[in-house]
């Protein structure tokens, strides 16, 4: 009987440690507000800034860059951008290069949305802005 109690206690302790370690991965939600402006003539480039805030109280000021190329022309400015991250366990997980593929068309006031990935971390971007653009481009969205 004593052996069963110690065995059960050990099993319970191991299970609780396992549940704590698996609960950490992707346990927080993070949102980013940002501004971004850029241009494209075959080559696409944009720069901006933002703030990432997470549900665990962490926050981070970030610089944003987008670069790539394709059959693309235009000039845009996003003034009211929002990004939502998934797969994050620490605010610093949002930093890095995200793969980007985008088809775009717009004139004057416009809205845009896209989903980017970087390993286990995904980023859904949406925003309102102004400008004109037309084309298809591939590249990277970089958060520093």
Q: What is the pTM of this model?
A: 0.75
Closest CA to 143 of 97, 84, 92: 97
Name the burial class of residue 14, with classes exposed (0-12), middle (13-18) and buried (19+) by CB atoms within 10 angstroms of its CB: exposed
What tens-digit pLDDT sequence spans the chain (144 residues)? Answer: 434 333 333 333 333 333 333 334 447 999 999 999 988 888 888 999 999 999 999 999 999 998 988 887 888 888 889 999 999 999 999 999 998 877 766 676 766 778 889 999 999 988 888 887 777 778 888 999
Per 3-state DSSP, the chain is made up of helix, strand and coil in percentages (nearest 5) of 20, 70, 10
Give the chain's count of helices (H) and strands (E). Answer: 1, 4
Per the CB < 8 A criterion, the answer to whether 52 and 60 are in contact is: yes
Residue 88 neighbours by CB under 8 Å, 6+ apart: 26, 28, 29, 30, 54, 94, 121
């Amino acid at each position: 009987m004593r052996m069963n109690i110690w065995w059960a206690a050990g099993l319970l302790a191991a299970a609780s440690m396992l549940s704590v370690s698996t609960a950490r991965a992707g346990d927080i939600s993070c949102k980013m507000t940002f501004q971004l402006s850029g241009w494209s003539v075959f080559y696409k480039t944009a720069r901006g800034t933002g703030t990432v805030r997470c549900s665990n109280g962490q926050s981070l000021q970030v610089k944003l860059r987008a670069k790539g190329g394709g059959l693309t022309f235009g000039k845009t400015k996003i003034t009211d951008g929002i990004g939502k991250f998934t797969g994050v366990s620490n605010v610093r997980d949002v930093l890095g290069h995200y793969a980007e593929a985008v088809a775009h068309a717009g004139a004057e006031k416009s809205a845009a949305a896209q989903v980017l990935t970087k390993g286990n971390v995904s980023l859904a971007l949406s925003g309102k802005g102004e400008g004109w653009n037309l084309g298809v481009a591939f590249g990277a969205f970089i958060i520093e």
